[in-house]
Amino acid sequence: MTTRKSKTLIIILLLLLIHVVACAQYPLNQQSDAPFDKQAGYRFEHLKPGPYKKTDNLFICLAFSGGGTRAAALAYGVMQELRRTRIRVDGEEKSLLDEVDVISSVSGGSFTAAYYGSFGERLFTDFRTKFLERNIQGALLARVLNPVNLARVASPWFGRIDLAAELYDREIFEGATFAQLEKNGRPFVILNATNLGPGRRFEFTQEYFDAMGSRLDQYPVARAVAASSAFPFLLTPLSLKNYPLAKGYEPPWWYAGAEEPKDWFTRRYDAAKNLDFYKDKKNGYVHLMDGGLADNIGVRALLDAYAHGFIQQKILDGDIKRLVFIVVNARTEGEDRLSAKARPPGIITVAEKTATTAMDNYSFESVAQLRSELYSRVQAQMDITAANRRLARYCPGAPKFAEPQMVDMYVVEVNFKAVEFIGEDPRYYLDLPTTFCLSKEQIEKLVTIGPKLLNASPQYRCLLKVLQAEAEGWPRPKDCPAGAGIMGN
């Protein structure tokens, strides 16, 4: 009798297990159920300026790099400092943070960006306890080892990333969807991931979802953050469905004429090919991993917006007079212990270097490219202005050169490498691990060093001086000429 009961119990448990495995399926993104509307959804052009009467006159973009909790804490410290920094724009006093229009983020930095986008000022009251000071890795591990979840992750349609997304959704993002980000208005938060198929950057914006015939508004922010921070091997990819295009779909304005074979080497051609991946419905699914695989600094989304997206539009419309990029780079760099040894490094060291060296170099080049593109524009502005001034003086009747919209530009980088220039030891920060579990002391040091590095940046100091001079009606400070906001003075 007892044996029969035990067998029945085992059969019931097995059936339950089969049921749990069979039912485990990652939540799908929704298909667009209405004709295409380029004014709807989570896109910059459609967002309200937000609660702080942001002016486009001063247009601030933040880029938050990857690097686990280290990156999230550094970004948090910088945001705290921007919030403390008072400015006067168009006669109104506000904080620099109030003027932030865009945040592009990767991996660990995406937690800070998405939390601010979802809850605004609440970032400064509960984000430390809800995320920064928590052992997120431990919480994830506990969920994975839960017997029910062990059965769920045995399903090929449900992975560790889906467990992570559930945790983030319940305990950090409280069920927020992109509709909430849209309702909150600016800053426009671009959460970056990597599409494993073509190996390209992917962003959780309606423009990307348009090409997937999908709507982003009902998609949980936590899943986007999970994709952005899905560290390879520890977490599994997060998948989206690529639906047929909505009726009346129109690609972005720059797409027409972009794929001329002779232009194969240009960024515009490359961007068009990226869009083609989603338009090609043979690619039925999009499998995403950590945004750091494609761009670990979050700058590429901003470069695209500057080259042919919403930043370019605002410049051409004459709305932006001052354009500021603040790049928060939590990159670390282990001490070089290899070069002093005669013996070549072992396979583990080589594997680690192989995984990180290219990514680090690419991050460096991304910021260098941002500086270079903005500086060449400033030089062109200065050349045209100088030429017209000389023409007016020496040849008043001659036609003038056509002038572009004049924009004052800044690129500020917060980077642990600069710690030595403020008289502190950079090794402490450069040796911090990439993890979702740091001590309270480590968090405190990161939150404190961010503002110090920001205020030590010559480009940032120039920005503050120029803003103050403008507010007071003073001439532009002589030690901050045009271009000093990019290359320093």
Partner 1 sequence: MTEYLVVKFPKPRKVLLNGVPKGNTNELLPLEAGKYTVSLEPPPDFKPPAQDIDLGNTSAEHPQEVVFN
Q: Which CB sits closer to partner 1, 262 or 343?
A: 262
CB of 404 vs partner 1, minimal distance in Å: 4
The reply to whether 403 sits near partner 1 by the rule CB under 8 A is: yes
Q: Which stretch binds partner 1 (CB under 8 A): 315-323, 348-356, 361-369, 461-469?
A: 315-323
Distance from first CA to last CA of the chain, Å, rounded? 89
State how far the Cα of 203 lies from the Cα of 184, in Å rounded to an integer. 19
Q: Which CB sits closer to partner 1, 376 or 448?
A: 376
Number of residues that bind partner 1 (CB under 8 A): 30
**Residue carrying the six token digits 């232009």:** 263
Site string for partner 1, 283-312 (x = CB under 8 A): ------------------------xx---x
The reply to whether 391 sits near partner 1 by the rule CB under 8 A is: no
C-alpha torsion 241→109→139→445, nearest 10: 180
Q: Which CB sits closer to partner 1, 290 or 408?
A: 408
CB of 380 vs partner 1, minimal distance in Å: 4
Q: Which CB sits closer to partner 1, 155 or 313?
A: 313
The reply to whether 358 sits near partner 1 by the rule CB under 8 A is: no
58-64/322-329 β-pairing: parallel
State how far the Cα of 411 lies from the Cα of 418, in Å rounded to an integer. 15
**Residue carrying the six token digits 């950057």:** 201
State how far the Cα of 44 lies from the Cα of 170, in Å rounded to an integer. 27
Q: Which CB sits closer to partner 1, 113 or 378?
A: 378
**Residue carrying the six token digits 């600069």:** 418
CB of 401 vs partner 1, minimal distance in Å: 6
**Residue carrying the six token digits 């997060």:** 238
The reply to whether 333 sits near partner 1 by the rule CB under 8 A is: no
Which residue from 27, 345, 404, 433 is in contact with partner 1, where contact means CB under 8 A?
404
CB of 323 vs partner 1, minimal distance in Å: 13
The reply to whether 317 sits near partner 1 by the rule CB under 8 A is: yes
Q: Which stretch binds partner 1 (CB under 8 A): 62-70, 136-144, 226-234, 382-390?
A: 382-390
Quote the distance between the C-alpha of residue 214 and its chain's center.
21
**DSSP calls for 64-89:** E---HHHHHHHHHHHHHHHHH-EEEE
Q: Long-range contacts: 345-349, Cβ < 8 Å, 24+?
A: none
The reply to whether 479 sits near partner 1 by the rule CB under 8 A is: no
Site string for partner 1, 247-266 (x = CB under 8 A): ------xx-xxx-x--x--x
State how far the Cα of 95 lies from the Cα of 112, in Å rounded to an integer. 18
**DSSP calls for 165-205:** HHHHHHHTSTT-BHHHHHHH-SSEEEEEEEETTTTEEEE-S
Residues in region 210-229 near partner 1 by CB under 8 A = none
Which residue from 10, 13, 28, 316 is in contact with partner 1, where contact means CB under 8 A?
316
State how far the Cα of 331 lies from the Cα of 67, in Å rounded to an integer. 7
Q: Which CB sits closer to partner 1, 399 or 423?
A: 399
The reply to whether 267 sits near partner 1 by the rule CB under 8 A is: yes
Cβ-proximal residues to 112 (8 Å cutoff; 6+ apart), any chain: 64, 72, 75, 76, 79, 105, 123, 127
Q: Which CB sits closer to partner 1, 264 or 474?
A: 264
Nearest to 77 by CA among 290, 326, 410: 326
Which residue from 269, 364, 375, 428 is in contact with partner 1, where contact means CB under 8 A?
269
The reply to whether 37 sits near partner 1 by the rule CB under 8 A is: no
Which residue from 2, 402, 423, 478 is in contact with partner 1, where contact means CB under 8 A?
402
The reply to whether 268 sits near partner 1 by the rule CB under 8 A is: yes
CB of 254 vs partner 1, minimal distance in Å: 7
Which two tokens mark 420? 């030595």
The reply to whether 380 sits near partner 1 by the rule CB under 8 A is: yes
Nearest to 288 by CA among 241, 331, 248: 241
CB of 384 vs partner 1, minimal distance in Å: 6
Which two tokens mark 430? 């450069």
**Residue carrying the six token digits 């909150």:** 184
The reply to whether 368 sits near partner 1 by the rule CB under 8 A is: no
Q: Which CB sits closer to partner 1, 113 or 303?
A: 303
Half-sphere CA count of 424, side-chain side, radius 13 A: 18
Q: Which CB sits closer to partner 1, 200 or 267?
A: 267
Q: Which residues bind partner 1 (CB under 8 A)?
A: 253-254, 256-258, 260, 263, 266-269, 307-308, 312-313, 316-318, 373, 376-377, 380, 383-384, 387, 401-405
